[in-house]
Structure 1
Amino acid sequence: MKNLRPLMMAVALATASQLALPQTVQFPGGKATFDGKCAVCHQAGGKGMDGLAPPLVEYPGKYADSKEGRAQLGHTVLYGMFGPIKVKDKTYNFKMPGFGALTDAEIADVLNYVVFDVNAQHGSAKPFDAAEIQALRASTLDASAVYKQRDAVIRGLGL
């Protein structure tokens, strides 16, 4: 037992040092855009703001695994969304502006940051790319249509 003590201490120190290291960001461009445009309401790391902006740490990862969910994510960023929504039994009454002025690549990057860096679970979702966002841009939606579309996506995913 006495001989195991140095080994146990080394394992404890290695574990502690790993916990102290910042998590690697796969989509740094998306993080920069998120930090500059989205974090003011959704907060750092997408944790949300009670009563105002919903957290982004769970649902987007689930959305990104289906065609309808991916469209919802893209349309929300492009056109905005307003109205009361519920996430995990909490209600948020948010008026999210559209960010259609961003390039297709910037929107793809920010969605990838949210889905793959902020969300721990994203199923077998593939990363967004500029061509996918360009195709979503062809829709002529407004924020109220995006809001209605969200209900169908939520029901379809069982959330």
Structure 2
Amino acid sequence: MRRHVVAALCCLPLLAGCSRSKDGHYLYASNCGICHHGGQGMAGSVPPLVRRIDKIAATPQGRAYLAAVLINGVSGPIRADGQPYRAEMPPFRYLADTQIATILSWLSEQGGSAPAPAISAAEIATARAHRIGAGDVAAMRAKLDQTNPLP
């Protein structure tokens, strides 16, 4: 059911006259922006993404975590920008590896890092080959946060 709602909502940017090109902004808006909005998220419910993804993507472990989030979803408590969230994000496996890499790289570019870390399609393919549960992704985040504090 959710997939059909997401598919219907994905058409809204096209109705508003957005470009049909598959650039990062378009892919983000039509897939992630439904919940995360312009990247600011929703206080207490959906964590912000802008000015955070670039910091997480600065290490190989961070990029592996970001790939795992989009491939497997995430379920469980997390902290972002010091605020608690009870994250329930669905997987976005239906997107191609290049599309997920484009979204994550575009989000990374929205941060303050120069140059912004890029996420490759090969990193996404690795995450896709090693499918884990959404709760395990939250545990992966907690472990990563211990060794490399996440924003």
**Structure 2 residue corresponding to 1:39, chosen from 33, 47, 71:** 33
String of CA shifts for 1:105-127, please: whole Å, max 9, x gaps. Answer: 100000011111x2122x66542
Query: Are the aligned partners of 2:72 and 2:137 in contact in 1 as well (CA < 8 Å)?
Result: yes
Look up the SS of the partner of 2:49 in the other structure.
Answer: coil
Query: Are the aligned partners of 2:65 and 2:137 in contact in 1 as well (CA < 8 Å)?
Result: yes
User: Residue in 2 aligned with 1:4?
Assistant: none
Gaps of 5+ in 2: 1-21
CA distance, structure 2, for counterparts of residue 132 and residue 85 of structure 1: 23
CA RMSD, Structure 1 to Structure 2 (Å): 1.8
User: Residue in 2 aligned with 1:85?
Assistant: 78
Amino acid of the residue matched to residue 74 of structure 1? A
Gaps of 5+ in 1: 1-27
CA distance, structure 1, for counterparts of residue 123 and residue 140 of structure 2: 18
Distance 1:113 1:79, change over 3 A: same
User: Residue in 1 aligned with 2:87?
Assistant: 94
Per the normalisation by structure 2, the TM-score is 0.79
User: Residue in 2 aligned with 1:120?
Assistant: 112
Query: Are the aligned partners of 1:41 and 1:52 in contact in 2 as well (CA < 8 Å)?
Result: no
User: Residue in 1 aligned with 2:125?
Assistant: 134
**Structure 2 residue corresponding to 1:74, chosen from 63, 67, 71:** 67
Deviation at 1:94, TM superposition (A): 2.3
Look up the SS of the partner of 1:32 in the other structure.
Answer: helix
Rg bigger for which structure? 1
User: Residue in 1 aligned with 2:149?
Assistant: 158
User: Residue in 1 aligned with 2:12?
Assistant: none
User: Residue in 2 aligned with 1:23?
Assistant: none
Per the normalisation by structure 1, the TM-score is 0.75
